[in-house]
Each structure stands twice: as C-alpha cells, then as structure tokens.
C-alpha cells in the first residue's frame, strides 16, 4: 500500500500544474468547441486529483493512528 500511495503522490504532484493551466484555459475558451473539450479534461483531472488526495489523506491518517496505538 505504501508504494501505491507514493506513486499516487508523485502523479498527483506532476498533474497539479497542468490541471491549473487547463482550468485557466477553460475560462479563456469558455464558449468555444475547444472549451467543451478542456472542460471535460479538467473535470476528469479534478476527479482523479480528488480521489488520489483522499487516498493519500486516509493512508496518512491510518498510519498516524497505527503509530499512536504502538507508542501507547
């Protein structure tokens, strides 16, 4: 699980800047055909970022809880 979370973290970091750039493009190309394509890509990217962020958060919380139990 640790290796999966580390890989997700790396992918999450790599995709952060492109997603932000695409979000800016989404506002610039609001009423064009390309705007619809960019909107779909941004939506899929944001869903991916939310899921990976949630997995990383849950894993961190789980490890902290595990360490608290071991240390007590």
Residue 31: phi and psi, rounded to 5, are -110, 25
pLDDT at 57: 93
Compute the mean pLDDT over every residue in the chain, rounded to the nearest whole number. Answer: 89
Q: Write the pLDDT tens digit of every residue in 1-46.
A: 789 888 989 999 999 999 999 999 888 888 888 888 888 999 999 9
Full DSSP string of 5-63 = HHHHHHHHHHHHHHHHHHHHHHHHTTTSHHHHHHHHHHHHHHHHHHHHHHHHHHHHHHH
Looking at residue 72, its pLDDT comes to 63
Which pTM does this prediction carry? Answer: 0.77
């Amino acid at each position: 699980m640790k290796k999966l979370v580390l890989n997700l973290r790396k992918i999450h970091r790599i995709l952060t800047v492109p997603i932000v750039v695409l979000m800016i493009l989404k506002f610039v190309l609001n009423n064009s055909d390309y705007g619809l394509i960019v909107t779909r890509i941004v939506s899929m990217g944001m869903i991916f970022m939310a899921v990976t962020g949630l997995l990383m958060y849950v894993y961190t919380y789980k490890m902290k809880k595990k360490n608290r139990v071991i240390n007590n």
